[in-house]
Chains A and B, each alone.
Chain A
Amino acid sequence: MSLSGAQVMLECLRREGVAHVFGYPGGSVLPIYDALYDCRDIMHVLVRHEQGAAHMADGYARATGKVGVCLATSGPGATNLVTGIANAYMDSIPMVAITGQVRTTVIGKDAFQEADITGITIPVTKHNFLVKNAADLPRTFAEAFHVARTGRPGPVLVDMPLDVSQQRIEWSGDQYPLKVDMPSYRPTTRGHEVQIKRAAAAIAQAARPVLYVGGGAVSSGAQAEVTELAERTNILVTTTLLGKGAISEAHPLCMGMLGMHGTAYANHAVHNCDLLIAIGARFDDRVTGKVDRFAPGARVIHIDIDPAEIGKVRQPEIPIVGDVKTVLQVLLKHVEPRPAGEWNEQIEEWRQRFPLVYPRDGGLYTEAIVEHIGEATEWKAVMATDVGQHQMWAAQYFRTRAPRQWITSGGLGTMGYGLPAAIGAQFARPDERVVCLSGDGSFQMCTQELMTASIYGLPLIVCISNNRSLGMVRQWQEMFYHERYSHVDLEQSPDFVKLAEAYNCIGYRVTTLEEFRAAFAAALEQTNRPVVIDCSVTGAENVFPMIPSGQTVNEMRMHTRLEELRSAPNADPEGWSYDEEDQKLSQIVDAGHGGAQKEN
């Protein structure tokens, strides 16, 4: 059977089990869109801007562990993907981005809508390909998906010139490689047994150990192993922003997030620990602050699938290169039970002394919004955030029960990510409630995707924490730039309710917590229409605790009203408490959406 390159491409996507492609047409991808016209088994989602397509593929990947796929035309279509690709790269998200390219005969001639997208994306992709012959398509796509999903996952771009998409080749169906073998790409997944035994011995010897768990634990599907390790050894766990969900945050051994806006007790624990067990985490500057004062007295065990992360920032005493889940399974064979001791009591004391606080006075605070979203959805909602203050409050107060429930832009910090990522997650998990928490700044960076959500009838709930300013930048200007508020005022924004209605969504405006609860309840009734809730929150609030950039736990700034708020009633609200359902939840997610890691 003779097929065009574009049709071969679709065959390749079928072989990889791709169910959704997020894309936008254009001149160089006309043959691909012509092939899509007859395609019934792969759903193409028409976005409104290519950046949205990349973020949707990213959100889809985070919500499932599968490879997200986005598609754009050459030139501006391709360059519009770049932010989304860079975002996925920073957070190690598996993605295949397919771009059209001008004909091979005019590449390099500054043809109409030509951009050297493989050149542009070298620094932000795990790998990329320019296909020059349709016969190379099957091997190229097999390698692209293989590279994207294995090892440390990441985005891969495949650039397809127009004539390659048009070129007809004979297709028998068996050209697609069943197994990919790339001699120069063989990630190490099994950790070194000797090092793992050393790690077990270090854990047995430690008086003040802490588990520091990052996104690698989520991408390798290691929630059961992380939880088991913590429970057996009674070692408290702190997670990074991307590690949220690697252990249920209602678990008594979970201290929440660490770092710049992490909990004070997690930061005190890390600062004073004598053994730091880093699991799929990369010692990001938002975590460490001043590197040589980070966990200064600790021996470090570092488990990571990427050898380049070992020693990049902090030299570990015990490096273990391998897949987190695989390594932890072996580690658990060697780790002896260990009772809770004085160290656990010390951390509990810090937890009592330095709790997360905000004024529970009925005012509409973003923290209260986050907690209500959690309670109203039994903490089961898939939560996508944008970037800024609301993101940090969500990280602090949204207590993730299961992996892949928390979708946020960590490394790149991309404003505008939240809405399209939530859309991607909703396509991936149609039967679950997806909530996007955004800010009035972030929301305006990809607003156009409301149309996508609306056309496809997604029951998304978008809550805009509207403080009429760029809150995080304002906070830094207040604290570090002498209150010189330069260009952070967003008083003049569109009417978000009317905007929602213009996109055929439902819009609510709320100014009190009571109103928010009612609006959210109404939103939960929706099954096929997005709801936007414009929450006019108390302005000029700051996120605390905060360790200023490049500083240490000693410079941590606590909430200015900590003393008063700690002793106020309801300082620690009744959340759900850790139960058997939490473990079950994670296993369901793993079984349903797993497969992120294949054995190499």
Chain B
Amino acid sequence: MALTLSGPSSVQGQQHIITVLVENHPGVLARVSGLFARRGYNIESLTVSITENPDVSRMTIVVGGDELVLEQITKQLNKLIEVMRVVDYTEFAAVERELALIKVNAEPRDRAEIMQIVEVFRARIIDMGERAFIIEVTGGTDKIDKIRDLLAPHGIREMVRTGVIAMARGSRTA
């Protein structure tokens, strides 16, 4: 699969979180991700999961670009037969969350400080080894970037992030 994943520094213009509701068919992920690669759009992150309706999958894609680029992306996505709906969450209030697991070096002399950081960020230590912790943290992208930066001086051995998921506030649905 040809995903163009690039760091936040490469983002041109605004970041947009778009939700794409697709028919839950084999190969639909390839159609969507291929479209981004083919038309030269950058995906910052992409998550896919089933929804309340088992026939429908939901993709949450964070993409960089100005309004015109986003308009083209939305229109091109809508042309895919299996795409049912495309919603841009930049347009209205939405809750955004991402989950990260961070394995950080934890020498005895550093543990207190790390635990303090974890507490301030309302993260959790979910595994504690002799030399390293695994920290689980949930929140917006900014928050996760921030805790990553604070943990970095201790030495991050490994990090995995789910990518953003989003949901509209109130009773509105995608």
Chain A positions near chain B (C-beta within 8 angstroms): 118-119, 122-123, 126-127, 130, 147, 182-185, 306-308, 310-312, 315
Report if A185-B81 is in contact (Cβ < 8 Å); known contacts: A122-B30, A123-B38. yes
Chain B positions near chain A (C-beta within 8 angstroms): 23, 26-27, 30-31, 34, 38, 68, 71-72, 75-76, 78-84
A–B complex contacts, Cβ < 8 Å, 23 sampled: A118-B27, A119-B27, A122-B31, A122-B34, A123-B34, A123-B38, A127-B80, A130-B26, A130-B27, A147-B81, A183-B84, A184-B23, A184-B81, A184-B82, A184-B84, A185-B81, A306-B79, A307-B75, A308-B76, A308-B78, A310-B75, A311-B68, A311-B72
List the B side residues contacting A184 at CB < 8 Å.
23, 81-84
Bound Cα distance A122, B29 (Å): 12
List the B side residues contacting A306 at CB < 8 Å.
79
Min Cβ gap A123→B in Å is 5
Tell me if A311 and B30 are in contact (CB < 8 A). Answer: no
Report if A311-B71 is in contact (Cβ < 8 Å); known contacts: A126-B81, A184-B84, A306-B79. yes
Min Cβ gap A284→B in Å is 16
Total contacts A to B, CB within 8 angstroms? 36
The residue on B at minimum CB distance from A183 is B84
**Could you say which of A119, A123, A308, A315 has the most chain B C-beta atoms within 10 Å of its C-beta?**
A308
Bound Cα distance A183, B53 (Å): 15
Selected from B30, B75, B81, the residue in CB contact (under 8 A) with A119 is B30
The residue on A at minimum CB distance from B26 is A130
Selected from B23, B34, B72, the residue in CB contact (under 8 A) with A308 is B72
Selected from A123, A127, A311, the residue in CB contact (under 8 A) with B81 is A127
Min Cβ gap B148→A in Å is 36
Bound Cα distance A126, B76 (Å): 11
Q: 5 nearest interchain CB pairs?
A: A308-B75, A184-B84, A127-B81, A185-B81, A307-B75
Bound Cα distance A311, B73 (Å): 12
Min Cβ gap B80→A in Å is 8
Bound Cα distance A185, B23 (Å): 11
Bound Cα distance A147, B78 (Å): 14
List the A side residues contacting B78 at CB < 8 Å.
307-308
List the A side residues contacting B23 at CB < 8 Å.
184
Min Cβ gap B79→A in Å is 6
Min Cβ gap A116→B in Å is 10
List the A side residues contacting B83 at CB < 8 Å.
184
Bound Cα distance A315, B75 (Å): 14
Tell me if B34 and A312 are in contact (CB < 8 A). Answer: no
The residue on A at minimum CB distance from B75 is A308
Min Cβ gap B116→A in Å is 50
**Could you say which of B30, B31, B38 has the most chain A C-beta atoms within 10 Å of its C-beta?**
B31
